[in-house]
Structure 1
Amino acid sequence: MAARDTLMYSEAHESADVVARQFAANEAVIAALAAALRAEPPRFIVTCARGSSDHAAAYAKYVFETRLGIATASASPSVTSVYAAEQQWQGALFLAISQSGKSPDLLRNAEAAKRAGARVVALVNVEDSPLAALADTVIPLHAGPERSVAATKSYIAALAAVLHLCARWLDDAELGDALQRLPQALRDNWSADWSPLCDSLADAHNLFVVGRGYGLGIALEAALKFKETCGLHAEAFSAAEVKHGPMALVGPDFPVLCFAQDDDTLDSTLAVAREFRGRGAQVLVAAPGLHGAGMLPVATGLPAMLTPLLIIQSFYRAASELSLRRGFNPDVPPHLNKVTETV
């Protein structure tokens, strides 16, 4: 089997079309929601999700807090679903993110949020799901059927939906224009050569994935995919947090993958990469416009907030290839199902 024969590869390849379709289909519902949020701003934002969807929520936190200035926190689903503890969410925006929209703990949290007086918004791929039925507003991901156990296009669709909502909420024409360029940028960036990742990690046992700010969510997502599809133990860290304890593990030949975007976090992320290289670590860096040994290509020309979508799409393509090279099938990871229904 070649990587292009896998569902993971082909579904990640669909991401540009998914994003374009989503932007067109969701304009009316997002414009209406944004108008309501401007008229009655939430006191704070609560996200609720698990797995890849929670990594999309981590991205949303940085988008909302940096652009909207509204405190955004991730709910611990078990607090409500297991401990049945009532939460003080009056006046909050409760953002539930899910592919299937049927996990029991997510549904219980959405129900609790409604009881507490929060506005419940669901970013969900299955429009007729139980979560969609519970929500005050549904923002469909429009990713279409995703048959690979590894989520790819639905994850990118969730990030795109967060950006769409932010642009309309702020009435930000510049961000809106950038979003219109995003699908073509995804198409153009698909052919970026990330083969050094496969060559470097074919025989690896452990690695760190490092990101910061907008890039932290995709670092978390990449670490999960390494475990899930490649049988490779990976842990994600902020470029700031990795210097508190975890860096003690980084020595000669230890693999480190860094994701960076061209904003105020770039210099600190590259400084960490240089420090690790100085210790003899095997460091790869994906950053827009940077080339040379140890660099993975990323297109330029989009705002830094959009760069993570380009990086994670290239990562998905490379991961599908690495999975096969390590003797796995990325579409059917051992012991996993497409839908995980946590109670």
Structure 2
Amino acid sequence: MNDTALEISSQPEVWAVGLGRADEARAALGAPGERMLVLGCGTSWFVAQAIAELREAAGLGETDAVCASEYVPRRRYDRVVAVTRSGTSTEVLEALRQVPDGAHRVAITAVAGEPVDDLVDTRLLLDFADERSVVQTRFPTTVLAMARAAFGEDLKHLIADGRAALAAPLPADPSEIDHLVFLGTGWTIGLAHEAALKVREAAQAWSESYPARDYRHGPVAVAGPRSLVWSFGAVPASLDDAALDAGARPYRDGRDPLAQLVLAQRFAVALAAHRGLDPDRPRLLTRSVVLT
């Protein structure tokens, strides 16, 4: 079994550790009423999107998510949180250097002693969720599990749902799928983007992601018999009809959205195997983007 698959399978146990440290996440993610920005690149940007939606939906304060490479200090924030597994990504470090004085800077990272430590006031270290793989799986899902618990969600079901997702059959035979579409709503839009990225990274396959209701506004036109349209969370059932009308296969299940993402990660690895690819060695990718 490759490292990516091993890390995918470890997620329920890693989540349990993270949920036991929810108080640390609550302190790092700020007091109710603070105006907060969450930064990240790639997977971490999608995590930032989900965190921002979850925090605002919980009534804890205005929260924005910005891709670190696009950050421009135009707005005032009480707290700026950078999600960075390695603590070395150049765009994240550059964004933190631009944060105006007065904002409390936080890093959520998996590795201690990296350059990001010198740029923040608080560090939430998830070294127990670190990964050998280039392709991120358990680190981002653990960040989201901890954030959800910190924001007051009851996640008693999460570990069992994660284990069920590891045992569940895949929603389709990878040999029959050339095109994947992931749909989400609210905070699960970030999960949809992340699932699509896993397919591109691990399997070099055609994948897309959208806010669910936007799917009918153009993207459905390219769906066909070898398309799998995968819904995360409370996506309207009418979107399944839109996929069926296009000749595609809709898929959804009732497990927690993070558990649904585990199944999508498994599918990406299975699709990579079908294509003769090693997900531990994704094309053109490295664990951290460090620019000279």
**TM-score normalised according to structure 2 size:** 0.90
What is residue 241 of structure 2 aligned with on the other side?
Answer: 274
- Following superposition of structure 1 onto structure 2, how do residues 128-147 of structure 1 map, counting pairs within 5 Å? 128-147=113-132
Q: CA deviation at 1:195?
A: 5.1
What is residue 144 of structure 2 aligned with on the other side?
Answer: 159
1:325 and 2:258 equivalent?
Answer: no
Between the aligned partners of 2:165 and 2:198, the Cα distance in structure 1 is 20
What is residue 105 of structure 1 aligned with on the other side?
Answer: 91
Between the aligned partners of 2:74 and 2:275, the Cα distance in structure 1 is 45
What is residue 238 of structure 1 aligned with on the other side?
Answer: 211
1:313 and 2:262 equivalent?
Answer: yes
Between the aligned partners of 1:142 and 1:240, the Cα distance in structure 2 is 37
What is residue 24 of structure 2 aligned with on the other side?
Answer: 29
- Following superposition of structure 1 onto structure 2, how do residues 282-293 of structure 1 map, counting pairs within 5 Å? 282-288=248-254
Could you tell me which runs of 5 or more consecutive residues in structure 1 were left unpaired when the two chains were aligned.
Answer: 168-174, 289-298, 300-306
Q: CA deviation at 1:197?
A: 4.8
What is residue 188 of structure 2 aligned with on the other side?
Answer: 215
Q: CA deviation at 1:142?
A: 3.4
One-letter code aligned to 1:52? T
Q: CA deviation at 1:190?
A: 1.5
Please, what is the CA RMSD of the aligned residues?
2.3
One-letter code aligned to 1:123? I
What is residue 229 of structure 2 aligned with on the other side?
Answer: 257
Mark the structure with the bigger radius of gyration.
1
Match of 1:185 among 143, 149, 161: 161
Between the aligned partners of 1:190 and 1:33, the Cα distance in structure 2 is 30
What is residue 39 of structure 2 aligned with on the other side?
Answer: 48
Between the aligned partners of 1:322 and 1:222, the Cα distance in structure 2 is 13
Change in CA separation of 1:197 and 1:274 when aligned onto 2, cut-off 3 Å: farther
Between the aligned partners of 1:142 and 1:182, the Cα distance in structure 2 is 21
SS in 2 for 1:190: helix
Change in CA separation of 1:184 and 1:147 when aligned onto 2, cut-off 3 Å: same
Between the aligned partners of 1:189 and 1:7, the Cα distance in structure 2 is 18
Aligned length: 292
Change in CA separation of 1:21 and 1:243 when aligned onto 2, cut-off 3 Å: same
What is residue 58 of structure 2 aligned with on the other side?
Answer: 67
**1:260–1:285 CA contact under 8 A, matched in 2:** no
Match of 1:92 among 73, 78, 83: 78
Could you tell me which runs of 5 or more consecutive residues in structure 2 were left unpaired when the two chains were aligned.
Answer: none
Q: CA deviation at 1:158?
A: 1.6
Between the aligned partners of 2:226 and 2:78, the Cα distance in structure 1 is 43
SS in 2 for 1:240: helix
Change in CA separation of 1:259 and 1:143 when aligned onto 2, cut-off 3 Å: farther
1:228 and 2:201 equivalent?
Answer: yes
**1:53–1:158 CA contact under 8 A, matched in 2:** no
Between the aligned partners of 1:181 and 1:136, the Cα distance in structure 2 is 34
Cα deviations by residue, 1:276-319 (Å, 9 ceiling, x for unpaired): 20232x2231220xxxxxxxxxx3xxxxxxx2210111111222
Between the aligned partners of 2:176 and 2:116, the Cα distance in structure 1 is 41
**1:210–1:216 CA contact under 8 A, matched in 2:** yes
Change in CA separation of 1:139 and 1:314 when aligned onto 2, cut-off 3 Å: same
Q: CA deviation at 1:148?
A: 1.7
Cα deviations by residue, 1:152-204 (Å, 9 ceiling, x for unpaired): 1112112112213212xxxxxxx2xx334422332233101115152432xx1
**2:229–2:251 CA contact under 8 A, matched in 1:** yes
Cα deviations by residue, 1:246-265 (Å, 9 ceiling, x for unpaired): 23323x4251322232xxx4
Q: CA deviation at 1:28?
A: 4.5
**1:8–1:316 CA contact under 8 A, matched in 2:** no
One-letter code aligned to 1:321? A
Between the aligned partners of 1:150 and 1:208, the Cα distance in structure 2 is 19
Residue identity over aligned pairs, in percent, reads 22
Q: CA deviation at 1:324?
A: 0.5
Match of 2:13 among 17, 30, 55: 17
Match of 1:334 among 278, 283, 286: 283
One-letter code aligned to 2:230? C
**1:6–1:331 CA contact under 8 A, matched in 2:** yes
